[in-house]
Every structure is written in C-alpha cells, then in structure tokens.
Amino acid sequence: MKIRTPDCASARGTAPIAAALLLGASLAAAALASCAGSPKPSSGKPPVGQTASARLPAAEEKRVQELQAAATLLGKGNKSDSGVAADKLGAMAAAEPQKAELRLVHAAALVSAGKLPEARAETEAVLAAEPTNSQALALAAELARFAGDEKARRSYLDRALAAAPRDSAVLAAWGELYLDGKDWPKAEDFFRRSLAADPGNPDAALGLGRTLYREAKYPEAEAQLDAAIALDPGSPLGYSDRSRARRQQGKYREAEADLDAAVARSPDSAWLWLDRGRFRMDKGDRAGAESDFSRAIALDPGYFLSYVYRGGMREEAGQDRLALDDYRKVIELYPEYWYAYESAGTVAFRLGIWPESAADFRVAFTKAPERYEYAIASAIALWRAGKPKEAAAFAGTIAPRVDREKNGIYWNMLRLIQDQNDVAAELELKIQAEKKLDLKSAMLFYLGQYWLCRGRVELAGKYFALSGDMKRQDSLEYRLLQAEFARGAAPHG
C-alpha cells in the first residue's frame, strides 16, 4: 500500500496534547515562581547558600511539591496522567482562586487531559477577573487554535500583544500563529523577538528551530534545537524535532538516537512512538516499526494514523486479514480519510470477501468520483459475489456520467460490465493504443476480471499475464493482481 498521510490541519490527533505540554511546562514554572516565591527546595534540604531558617514555610513547601508532582504527571504525555494532574491542580486552584497562575496551569493540564471545554471555562474565568492577563490571553488563543477558530485566536493574541508587547510568551504565541500559517519569515521574526525578550524561553527556542526546519535551513535548525534541548532537557519535543533536522542532513543514526531519547522522556506519549515507527518503517526496520505502531495504538487507540501505517505495513507483508482489521478501525475513527476505503476494498478483494470489497470501493468512488477505477472494481466485486445483475445495474448508473472524450476507456469498460456480452473489440483497441502505462496495465487487469466473471478462465489468464508483465507495482490493480496469481488464475509474471 502506498501510505497517504492526511492533511495535518484536518487530522491533528494528539497535537493539542503535545502543545498543552509546552503550555503546562511554562505555566507551571510561572506558578512555581508565584506560589513559592523562592527557589524550589530539593530533597527537603535548603538550597545551597540558604540557611535552614530561610527555608520555605511548610505550607508553601507542600504546595511547591504538589506542583512538581503535577508537572511530572503532565510530562508523561498521556491523557490519564494528565487527568490526575488536572484534578490535583484543580483542587489547588479552588483553594486559592485569586492565584491566576494556578488556575492557568490547571487549564493547561485540562487540555492535556482532553477536557477542552473545562479548560476554556477556567481560562475565561481568569480573564473575567484580569482582562489584560497576557498568559491567560495566550492560553485562550491556543485553545481557540485547538478549536479551529483562527479569528478568535488572532483576537486573543492582538489583546495579549497590546497588553504585553515585550512579553516573550506572547511573542512566541504570535510565532506559532505564523508558523501554522506557513508564513515562515514572520514566524522566524516573532520567535527571534521572543528569545531576545527572554533567552531562556524554551518554547521560543523550539519554535524557532521548527521554523528554520520549515525554511529548509537544516543545520541552523539543528543548532537552534540544540539550544532548545539545553533549555529544557527533560522535554521530548526538542529531541523529536531535532531528529527531523538531522535526518534531512543524512545523520540517520543521530536522528534515531533523538527519537529514542524522546520516547525515553515520555514513554506514554503515543505520538512519539508513532514518530519513531515512521522513521523505522522508512529505513526498512519493519519489525521495529510495527512494534512502535502497536505501542502507539495501545496508548491511544482512538487515533487513526497509527492504524494507517500498521495496516499498510501488514498489507505489504501479505497479512491481509490483519491489514483489513486496521483499515476497518481507520474507517471507524476517521471516515473522512477516504483512502482507507480503497485500502479496505483492496485487501477484501485479495481475500475474496467480495461483498465487503464491493461496498468499500463504492464508498471510495462516492468520495472520489473522478476515480472511475473504484466504480469498475466495485462492479467486478459485485459480480464475483454472485450478483451479476447488480453489477450490471451499478455500472449502468456510472457509465452515463463519464466524459467519453476524456475518459472513453473507462466508459468502454463500464459499458462492457453493463452489457455483459462478448463484444470487447473497441475496448481492446483502446487498451492497445493507450500511452499511459498505469492505465493500460489497469485496463488489462479489469478486462481479465471481466472474462473471469464470464467463465473464460484461459482468456482471463492471458490478460492477467499481460498486466503483470508491465510490472506497475505502485498501482492499485497490481496489488489486486497478486491475489489472482496466488489463486492460480494465471502464471505469475
């Protein structure tokens, strides 16, 4: 299977969780500074240079420890632990509702836990009391981003910039806005301004590294991501992004080491396992890739993309039954991803599950009506399911919609299925004259299927062999043809 990745804007999946980890980290730091009012203690001992009498009061020390525990849970990168962290932070915020920093880090934890409405309510409560709170405005903008409301996002950021024009977090949020909008020069400018305002801002360093990567400035991106990692060595995100910059420079061993480091720092993050699985798949480590995809699925069974990749690998390995299970899951989770119907129809065809194949290809055709091969495959599968009349009727509904000037070869194939006779001379002439090799090979395959349905097995084998000899290995029909070879419909070409 040729794996097709959907547009990120329409399938962000776990991206809000990853972004919330950044928010949670920065807001937790602010909360620690505000609530503790002094450096955090370590192991119950006063910091170097601080006497025992200068230690934090017991209540303050307990609060700092609770914040640190919540931050540790958030750092695991999964909804379950983030939910526990959100509950702890919610109790702390309820006890001191006047502390905006606590309420905001609670809101960020709610995002990580997938509780976006609750996060919005908490953030808006802070803004009701403090309309110019730049951190609350930045978080509200990020929540609008997750909701796909770019107008509200920009409105919040306009207010934040007016309230705090030199605030590093606000400038970084503007950088993210332009990064999402693929306006790399403006994104770079805002991230650099953010770092100038606060050279220790890890979000700005990470954002600048990501922007430089998008600008194909891979050595500069790697160097900037080195800086981001130095600022926040416990975060997995810098390692994950640096792996991409290194890979573009051919530093494959270092790139994989970065992915290993990212997974080690957040082993409960499904996205990181998926990321490493894709790297391993590309380098040919099928066992390692499938293991990573399976782990990503175990951690986040509701995210479709891991099933897409694992299903594709299983199909390529000839594990069609397992691949079909994965494709069915993709369809359940993300029905807009219509390539899954093509893939499910393909493996069902290969398995000889004709009714399912016919249904899948039919849905694929409704979602991509210019792909007439889906309609032809659906009609053939219906016929092979023992429903020649239904196959003829379906082909008869599609043929009149075909532009014969542009797609006459498809029209001829559909009409042949509709009429179900032996008059194939016109189609054969068109196949012989066809210059596009993929289309020529596909029509030879479908003509072989037609004769197989008509009971002309020897003639079918002839066309299958001709199609196979063309070796159009990236085509849908080649994938289907392999099953016919396995079933003995023709000698393997």
Tens-digit pLDDT profile for residues 19-37:
444 455 445 545 544 544 4
Residue 4's pLDDT band (cuts 50, 70, 90): low
Q: How far apart are CA 80 and CA 112, in angstroms?
A: 9
Q: Report yes or no on 271 lying in a domain.
A: no
Q: What was the pLDDT predicted at 432?
A: 96
Name the DSSP class of 45: B
Last residue of a domain, one of 245, 272, 307: 245
pLDDT at 55 over 60: no
> Model confidence over 340-379: pLDDT tens digits?
999 999 999 999 999 999 999 999 999 999 999 999 999 9
Residue 40, SS3 per DSSP: coil
**Contacts of residue 425, Cβ cutoff 8 Å, sequence gap at least 6:** none
Tokens of 219: 């050595």
| pLDDT surpassing 60 at residue 41 | no
How distant, in Å, are the alpha carbons of 350, 363, 465 from that of 449? 13, 21, 12
Please state the domain count of the chain.
2
Is residue 465 predicted with pLDDT exceeding 50? yes
Mean pLDDT of the 397-408 span: 96
Average of pLDDT values for 188-207? 97
In a domain, 429, yes or no: yes
Asked if residue 123 is part of any domain, the answer here is: yes
| Residue 174's CATH number | 1.25.40.10
Residue 450 has pLDDT above 80, yes or no: yes
Q: Say if 416 falls within a structural domain.
A: yes
In a domain, 286, yes or no: no
Query: What is the C-alpha separation between 391 and 393, in angstroms, rounded?
Result: 5
Q: Mean pLDDT of all residues in the chain?
A: 88
Q: Among 227, 245, 263, give the residue marking a domain's end.
A: 245
Residue with tokens 């060595």: 233
Residue 121 in domain:
yes
Which secondary-structure segment (H or E) carries 454? none
pLDDT at residue 468 greater than cutoff 60: yes
pLDDT in tens, 420-443: 999 999 999 999 999 999 999 999
Q: Which domain holds residue 476?
A: 371-486
Helix (H/G/I), strand (E/B), else coil: 42: strand
Supply the angle between the helices 58-75 and 100-112 in degrees, to the nearest 10: 20
How many C-beta atoms lie closer than 10 Å to residue 129's C-beta?
12
Phi-psi region of 47 (alpha: psi -120 to 50; beta: other; left: phi over 0): beta
Tell me the per-residue pLDDT of 293-330, one tens digit each, with 9 for 90 and over. Answer: 999 999 999 999 999 999 999 999 999 999 999 999 99
Q: In Å, what is the CA distance from 366 to each residue of 157, 369, 373?
A: 41, 5, 12
Q: Is residue 234 part of a domain?
A: yes
Last residue of a domain, one of 189, 216, 245: 245
Residue 364: partners with Cβ closer than 8 Å, 6 or more residues away: 338, 339, 341, 342, 345, 371, 374
